[in-house]
Amino acid sequence: MAPDYQTLLLAIGLAGFCLSATLFASWMSARVERFLLSWSIGIGCIVPAVAVYSLYIDQAGVAIGCLAFMLQFLGFAFIYGAAYRFRSGKRARRRIAVVFVACLAIALPPLAAGYDGIAFIALNLLIAGCLAATAWEYWRGRAEAPLPLTGIVVLYLLTAASFLLCAGVLLHDGRWVMGHAPDNWAENLNLIAAIMGITGIGAMSLALNQWRVAGNHRHAAMTDALTGLLNRRALFDRYGAFPVGEHQAAIAFDLDNFKAVNDRYGHAAGDAVLMVFADVLRDSCGTAACLARLGGEEFIVVLERTPPDRAQRIAERVREDFAAKLIPISSRSISCTVSAGIAFAGENGTSFDCLLSNADKALYMSKRNGRNRVSLAA
């Protein structure tokens, strides 16, 4: 094996070690995105795999070869698991185990039987499959950050293609028994592609992680922590700077006698009531409505291009559905009601503050007239 090949192996080992350490440090700083830990473990397995493979190059042996295969399969299984966890947010332990065991079951028997050429063909094909599956997971989640994720997918696929090329050359040569590590131009190209893939994917993945962290912070700043609806700040950021459009409606909701629920059953019961009402809003208003919690027991629904009769039907549906809910509190269930007020933008438009003020006036009209009812602004 040429000295240049050993140099490329050393470069992969150093790049992998630095990337693994960086990923682990990024995970340790927050311990939130666990896909970073899985990816760090995966790259961390590739580093000793490179070292063991260097020993195999100098002195081919079944035991050393099996160890090199096992470390590579374990590393790429964890890399795939990291991609799955990044996209789905679910644990990937079972998938990692299945990929690892399946790869071992396919590639190790021919290596142990002395057919090292077949074993290396299987190794390259299986790693290419792992990389393609990893690229597929990132491609499925590309909506989160289309540009960097597309770049990551391309790099994974290019690296997978280099492993396919290695397998193709071995198949073309037809050497099922070699007695040494593969030595051809495709192997050199594969190492170059691996170096480019590690550095490029590492840089874009770290940037992507920062993108996700910043997005989570933005989401937390704009979302009510209890109900998951928009908060006051998000609502006014969306509508407060511009005049509202024609046929826009605002429905103000206020839970009836909510303070009595807190006083009688405790704040945990009050939180449960608020979460149930938020679920009723989601079910009754649909995805086109903008739902927000202004604070306490006050909620706002903003509807675009909605005629008055439809807005009133939505408000009545919310009122009726919430009144019919039995909310479990400790060893018993309670029911609550809600009052609502509806206001509409005029033909010449109006400010969002004015629209909310009119909805509030209609809401207080419902309160004065006995609660558990819907009123329209004058």
Report pLDDT digits (tens) over 100-124: 999 999 999 999 999 999 999 999 9
Q: Could you tell me the pLDDT band of residue 348, with boundaries at 50, 70 and 90?
A: low
pLDDT of residue 19: 73
Among 75-89, 200-214, 238-252, 348-362, which stretch is predicted with the lowest mean pLDDT? 200-214
Q: Residue 323: is its pLDDT beyond 90?
A: yes
The amino acid sitting at 283 is D
Element housing 189 (H / E): helix 185-222
Cα 159 vs. chain centroid, distance in angstroms?
Answer: 24
Is 315 in contact with 366 (CB distance < 8 Å)? no
Higher pLDDT, 362 or 46: 362
Q: How far apart are the C-alpha atoms of 59 and 280, rounded to whole Å?
A: 69
Domains defined along the chain, listed by start: 3-222 (1.20.1070), 232-376 (3.30.70.270)
pLDDT of residue 118: 94
Unique residue bearing structure tokens 């993108």: 211
Report pLDDT digits (tens) over 251-305: 999 999 999 988 888 888 999 999 999 999 999 887 778 999 998 899 999 998 8
pLDDT of residue 3: 47
Q: Could you tell me the pLDDT band of residue 5, with boundaries at 50, 70 and 90?
A: low
pLDDT of residue 30: 62
Higher pLDDT, 27 or 227: 227
**Mean pLDDT over all residues of the chain?**
86
pLDDT of residue 363: 94
Among 76-85, 192-201, 283-292, which stretch is predicted with the lowest mean pLDDT? 192-201
What Å distances lie between residue 352 and 18, 68, 102, 306, 365, CA to CA? 53, 65, 60, 16, 20
Assessment of whether the complete model's pTM goes beyond 0.85: no
Among 131-140, 143-152, 273-282, 297-306, which stretch is predicted with the lowest mean pLDDT? 143-152
Cα 353 vs. chain centroid, distance in angstroms?
Answer: 36
Q: Highest-confidence range of 34-48, 152-166, 234-248, by mean pLDDT?
A: 152-166
Report pLDDT digits (tens) over 17-51: 777 777 777 667 666 667 778 888 888 888 888 88
